[in-house]
Amino acid sequence: MLGTRSVAERLAQLLLTMTDHHRMGTRSGLLVGRPWTRDELAKMVGATRQWVSMTLERFCDEGLIGVRGHRIVVLDEARQRGLAR
């Protein structure tokens, strides 16, 4: 996956995998199981922390995710799955 997908696709897939593993729904979406630092996420997807930060901000701007404190909520699971391919 690291060599064939963009950082956005890898990050989208990682967030979905985390929500699938814990499956904690909220009124607004699916909660990622625990708070992860951007550095931890970057290491998991093979990117820099800065690139992950920019991608998360883009996901927020596009309405795919929301950030509640230190927690990430997947707001639009269908679109997120489409991005993760």
Tell me the pLDDT tens digit for each residue of 17-75.
998 877 676 777 888 878 899 999 999 999 999 999 999 999 999 999 998 888 899 99
Q: CB 48: neighbour CB atoms within 10 A?
A: 14
Rounded Cα gap, residues 29 and 72, in angstroms: 10
**pTM of the entire predicted model:** 0.86
Cα–Cα distance for residue pair 24/30, rounded to 1 Å:
6
Domain boundaries along the sequence of the chain: 7-84
Encoded tokens for 74: 């997947």
Assign domain 7-84 to a CATH class.
mainly alpha
